[in-house]
Amino acid sequence: MRATTSSDVGVMRDSGADNYFDQSAETMSRDSLLALQFERLRNTLLNAYENVELHRSRMKQLGVDPREVRTMDDVRHLPFTYKTDLRDHYPFGMFARPLTDVVRLHASSGTTGRATVVAYTRADIATWADLMARSLHGAGARAGDVVHNAYGYGLFTGGLGAHYGAERLGATVVPMSGGGTERQIALIMDLGADVLCATPSYALAMAEVAEQQGVDLRKSKLRVGVFGAEPWSDAMRVEIEERLAVKAIDIYGLSEIMGPGVACECVAQAGLHGWEDHFMFEVLDPETQQAVVEGDAGELVITTLSKQALPMLRYRTRDITRVTTAPCECGRTHLRILRITGRSDDMLIIRGVNVYPSQIESVLVGRPMIAPHYQLVVERRGTLDHVTIEVEASMGVDAEAFPSISRDVARHVKSMVGISTDVVVKLPGEIPRSQGKAVRVRDLRPKG
């Protein structure tokens, strides 16, 4: 029996072999979906108001009565929540349940200060597993598949999130975690993995090591790759699909909201379905904090609708994207997030032009003579920011060709992205490879 959450409205599912398509939830009319959202939103607001001091005081300050919220217009008056709120109330100050009801904690690495700690009740874990199973099924994974899970296990939500979802789907999980790339490749081949879960940058790093070992991963059983946790471009998708012979599916999530499985592409690969029965998505202009016109880019703001331990109201993700509610060819009615371009914190302003690393990636990956590994070095020169793109020559390319490769890349970046850059061509293997989230930017600008 599937565990149910308190706010579960009794979604029935045929969870027999090979059927984790939750048709009643995933294809419900948008009107029913909105009605369900508001019903669940009210429970969330009450949970937050009654159990979390910060939410209560902010709602009071703004004159919001959680019992009075009924329409999207009312939602616009709800307070925002920021990552700093979690830090300021470290470690447990934003939990809506006592630790005795919390069965799991995860935490961000906290590179820029205190870690952010997130909590799950047993029901929260069950919902997460359901949504991850739903995501994996939508991606083309099936009960009976062998799922090779190379997301990091531990405080990071990737490993355990994908693990529980794959088990819930009825798959056989290989709990690899990141690193030990040669061993990963051997096990993908030996255990007959059908599905690979990894960051896109690590998937490429695996492809590269396999090639060096003379192993052809295209001849493995791998059929589907479920890649996320970092921004990646369509050019990267093409590269990965070619080198691994998989259908490369984009999956999104963040620990503050749940972990992986907040949104995931279906096999149409036409945007990530955001699971609106459990989350409410808004796209706001980060400056004015007003909703943008559907289809325009803005900051993704998410409200949880069923989380018990850590309800989040209008969480400012800092992730920049566009969404559409247009019907998808797969029949799912949940809105689609049209790729995450990057985080507003990662946006570079180069002589007035706003640039995300993923835009530069689109130009670099797939170009002849260079490998799909890069880093951007940002420096302050006088009063202006300056970007050096470090790319890597493909194996076997003569060093004499480096100057012309450099000029060629700089010219394309200028014409496609609109910024002038220096391009340094490095030898094969010189750009650091990732085992998890890739570091794309080295920011050498003075802080503060």
Which residues of the chain form contacts with ligand DLL (CB under 6 A)?
108, 151, 156-158, 228-231, 250-255, 259-260, 317, 319, 340, 343
Give start and end residues of each alpha helix (H) in 116-255.
Answer: 122-139, 157-169, 181-190, 200-213, 234-244
| Residue nearer to ligand DLL on the CB measure, 284 or 393 | 284
Residue with structure tokens 């325009």?
296
Least separation, in Å, of the C-beta of 339 and ligand DLL? Answer: 7
Bridge pairing between strands 422-426 and 315-324: unpaired
| Residue nearer to ligand DLL on the CB measure, 203 or 340 | 340
Least separation, in Å, of the C-beta of 156 and ligand DLL? Answer: 6
List, in order, residues 6 or more apart from 83 with CB less than 8 Å away: 116, 256, 316, 318
| Residue nearer to ligand DLL on the CB measure, 64 or 85 | 85
C-alpha triplet 65, 70, 74: angle, nearest 5°: 65
| Residue nearer to ligand DLL on the CB measure, 81 or 406 | 81
Instruction: Look up residue 435 and give its two tokens.
Output: 């085992």
> Closest Cα to residue 231, out of 325, 330, 361?
361
Q: What sign does the CA torsion over 362, 425, 395, 207 have?
A: negative
Q: Residue with CB nearest ligand DLL? A: 228
Least separation, in Å, of the C-beta of 227 and ligand DLL? Answer: 7
| Residue nearer to ligand DLL on the CB measure, 259 or 271 | 259
CB 371 within 8 A of CB 377: no
Least separation, in Å, of the C-beta of 222 and ligand DLL? Answer: 17
| Residue nearer to ligand DLL on the CB measure, 66 or 225 | 225
| Residue nearer to ligand DLL on the CB measure, 66 or 298 | 298
CB 277 within 8 A of CB 259: no
Phi first, then psi, for residue 50 (nearest 5°) are -75, -30
Instruction: Look up residue 221 and give its two tokens.
Output: 């059983």
Spatial separation of the C-alpha atoms in residues 439 and 205, rounded to whole Å: 13
Least separation, in Å, of the C-beta of 255 and ligand DLL? Answer: 4
Least separation, in Å, of the C-beta of 97 and ligand DLL? Answer: 20
| Residue nearer to ligand DLL on the CB measure, 300 or 328 | 300
Least separation, in Å, of the C-beta of 374 and ligand DLL? Answer: 16
> Closest Cα to residue 422, out of 389, 373, 379?
389
Give start and end residues of each alpha helix (H) in 251-353.
Answer: none
Least separation, in Å, of the C-beta of 368 and ligand DLL? Answer: 26
Using DSSP, how many helices (H) and how many strands (E) does the chain show? 12, 19
Spatial separation of the C-alpha atoms in residues 368 and 397, rounded to whole Å: 10
